[in-house]
Amino acid sequence: MGTPTRFTYGVTTVAKGTPLGSYPMRDPFHSSSDQGYGVAEYYNDFNTLGSAEYTVTGSSSTFALTSGAGGVAILTPGGTTTASSAYKAGQSFQFISGQKAWYTVRFQVSAVSGTKSFYVGLQAGSATTDGLWFSKAASSTSVNLVSTVNSTATTLVTGVATAAAATYLDLGLHFDGTDLLVFVGGNLVSRVSGPTIGSTGTTLTNAVLTPVFQITPTATDTLTVDYVLAAEEISR
């Protein structure tokens, strides 16, 4: 790592003469370049994890911090076949035509063989009826991008990545307001052109979503998360 550039008076994203014009940090709620817009964001590097931050499903299943460089959290099913998920409390992200959205995650699963399955992405809280996630089906190692709208699942991209046991995957999404871009390891691998957004008969759900991690094990399988980020451009 090289020598850092030093901005001793800070760096701001707002214009002079505004309430935060002399604030030495960015305005977390607005953007001066696009009046009326801002970015809402959630990210966690899992150095900390609030006790009520995530809701866990699955009898006796847990989602908790564990030891690991940089901070990690682990989803541990309560039984050898207990389908388990952890979703962030509070739904606050929504796909809106013409407005940007971002999602990135780095995670690994302890095993991928047999009928184990998992998905990570965005979900309508406890409702699996609506969401967008990277999914590995049972008896497969292919990670696909799947969109679910009003309980109808559509595979948008097949073979985004290949899952391997105890091997991290770095996956990302960017909705540029028109197209949905898919990334692996920071590299663009696919583009879904002009997805439609709505409650039925569309490509992307218009439900309000939240980050989710899910695993259906066949033994003592776990899902470990290094970091997650979800953000969207919103009108304020």
**CA 88 to CA 53: how far, in whole Å?**
6
- Per-residue pLDDT at 7 exceeds 70: yes
Each domain of the chain, given as residue ranges in start order, spans: 1-33, 40-235
Express each pLDDT in 157-189 by its tens digit: 999 999 999 999 999 999 999 999 999 999 999
pLDDT band at 118 (very low <50, low <70, confident <90, very high): very high
Express each pLDDT in 83-100 by its tens digit: 999 999 999 999 999 999
CB 59 within 8 A of CB 82: yes
Express each pLDDT in 143-165 by its tens digit: 999 999 999 999 999 999 999 99
Average pLDDT over the chain reads 95
Q: Which is nearest to 221 in space by CA: 170, 163, 172?
A: 163
Burial class (CB in 10 A: 0-12, 13-18, 19+), 184: middle
**CA 4 to CA 29: how far, in whole Å?**
27
Location of structure tokens 């800070």: 10
- Per-residue pLDDT at 70 exceeds 70: yes
Tell me the three state secondary structure of residue 71: coil
Quote the pTM value.
0.94
pLDDT at 26: 84
List the beta strands (DSSP E) in 4-94.
37-44, 54-57, 62-66, 72-76, 84-88
Report the sign of the C-alpha dihedral through residues 96, 127, 172, 200, in that order. Answer: negative
124-144: average pLDDT: 97
Long-range contacts of 137-144 (CB under 8 A, 24+ apart): 138/114, 138/216, 139/114, 139/115, 141/112, 143/169, 143/171
pLDDT at 34: 64
Express each pLDDT in 39-62 by its tens digit: 899 999 999 999 999 999 999 999
Q: Write phi, then psi, for 137 (nearest 5 degrees).
A: -80, 165
Burial class (CB in 10 A: 0-12, 13-18, 19+), 223: buried
pLDDT at 43: 97
Express each pLDDT in 196-212 by its tens digit: 999 999 999 999 999 99
Q: Which class is 40-235 in CATH?
A: mainly beta
CB 207 within 8 A of CB 130: yes
β-strand pairing of 142-149 with 127-136: antiparallel
pLDDT at 175: 98
